């Protein structure tokens, strides 16, 4: 005969809390319900054990009467079988209810994990598309600048300073767009001053 767990041990059991776990109040309420059912089963099991012991005691007392022994054994066996069957049925019902509850918990966590994995995949996809969009934008800007700015040969660019290349690019682009750079304005002012001095002389 299997030894049943004492209800006190179940009541004192401690469980760790996981990420996004169930509401403690709901879990405690469910455990209280299971504990109540199990305690009742445990009490009935103890009473049944007492009855079985009484039956065995009666069997011992009836050993002197062969006729009584046969009838008592048959009745005791029937009663014992019924007791065991009833206890097993109740235990199986409680175990099935507990297993169903835990299966529901596992399924809910599986659904949550699947949803979070899909969200993560979508976020990664959106990030990649955003980066690709930015890169395409940069490429388009470079193409636009290349159309506005005629670059010199590679050797000429290497021989010139970065400032000169930038100034040349800005000047060329400004000319196409009808905008004068600061250096061009300064050169124009110098030419005007020189022309004025020549006229005065």
Look at phi and psi of residue 131 and say left if phi exceeds 0, alpha if psi is from -120 to 50, else beta.
Answer: alpha
Helices 182-200, 162-177: crossing angle, 10 deg rounding: 80
User: Distance between CA 78 and CA 10 in Å, rounded?
Assistant: 32
User: Distance between CA 34 and CA 97 in Å, rounded?
Assistant: 9
- Please give the pLDDT value at position 157: 46
Mean pLDDT of 93-120: 83
Mean pLDDT of 45-71: 77
Looking at the whole model, is its pTM more than 0.75?
A: no
Q: Is 33 helix (H, G, I), strand (E, B) or coil?
A: helix
Do the Cβ atoms of 157 and 151 come closer than 8 Å? Answer: yes
Which of 17-26, 30-39, 82-91, 112-121 has the largest mean confidence? 112-121
CB within 8 Å of 151: residues ≥ 6 apart: 157, 169
- Please give the pLDDT value at position 196: 53
């Amino acid at each position: 005969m299997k030894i049943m767990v004492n209800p006190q041990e179940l009541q004192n059991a401690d469980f760790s809390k996981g990420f996004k776990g169930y509401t403690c109040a709901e879990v405690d309420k469910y455990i209280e319900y299971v504990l109540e059912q199990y305690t009742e089963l445990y009490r009935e099991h103890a009473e049944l054990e007492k009855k079985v012991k009484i039956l065995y005691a009666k069997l011992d007392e009836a050993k002197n009467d062969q006729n009584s022994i046969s009838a008592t054994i048959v009745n005791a066996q029937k009663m014992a079988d019924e007791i065991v069957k009833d206890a097993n049925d109740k235990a199986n019902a409680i175990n099935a209810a507990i297993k169903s509850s835990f299966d529901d918990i596992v399924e809910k966590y599986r659904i949550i994990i699947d949803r979070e994995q899909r969200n993560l995949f979508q976020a990664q996809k959106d990030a990649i598309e955003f980066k690709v969009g930015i890169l395409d934008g940069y490429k388009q800007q470079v193409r636009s600048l290349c159309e506005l700015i005629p670059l010199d040969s590679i050797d000429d660019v290497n021989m010139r300073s970065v400032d000169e290349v930038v100034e040349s690019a800005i000047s060329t682009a400004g000319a196409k767009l009808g905008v004068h750079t600061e250096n061009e304005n300064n050169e124009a002012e110098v030419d005007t001053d020189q022309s004025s001095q020549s006229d005065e002389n």
